Structure 1
Amino acid sequence: MAAEEPVTSPDQHKPTPRRLWRIGGVAVIIVLLLMLFGNNEVNTGAPWLIGTATVIALLLIGDAVLKRNGLRD
């Protein structure tokens, strides 16, 4: 069976479109921030939710800046 499959290099595989990654990132940020408005009175998880959403936002902004400057495909 393995002898019949074509040998391909990683650069021949079709990459996932960046637009889908950006939409997914924004969706995750929105969901994380909406979780702040749950029925929790203590809010001990709020810093983690805000921090995670901030990190994802910074990664998306960094990716957009690199793409705009021509340093990323």
Structure 2
Amino acid sequence: MAGTEPVTSPDQHKPTPVKAARIAGVFSIIALLLMTLGNHEGRVEDVFLVTVAGIIAALIIIDAVLRRNGLR
């Protein structure tokens, strides 16, 4: 199997569409936060929704800082 795969360097691969990933992350955060505005009684699911939205926001911020500083 490994003998049939072409040898490529990392700069020959397609770059990740960073802008599209950030936009998708922002839309995901908005969707998660809008889900808290439902007709449900318990607030346990709200904690999970806000936590996941916070994690996604933190990942977007960390990625932006690393890219600005040239570390990624």
Structure 2: tracts of 5 or more residues without a match: none
Question: Equivalences for 1:1-73 in 2 at 5 Å?
Answer: 7-9=6-8, 11=10, 12-72=12-72
Q: Tell me the matched-pair count.
A: 69
What amino acid maps onto 1:43 in structure 2? R
Whichever residue aligns with residue 47 of structure 2, its letter is P
Query: Equivalent pairs: percent with the same residue?
Result: 50
| Structure 1 outlier segments of 4+, above 3 Å | none
Q: What code does the residue aligned with 2:48 have?
A: W
- The RMSD of aligned alpha carbons is 1.9
List alignment gaps of at least 5 residues for structure 1.
none
**Aligned mates of 1:17, 1:8 — CA distance in 2:** 23
Using structure 1 for the length normalisation, give the TM-score: 0.81
1:10-50 per-residue CA deviation (whole Å, 9 max, x = no partner) reads 72221321001100110100000000001111122011000
Cα separation, 2, equivalents of 1:14 and 1:71: 19
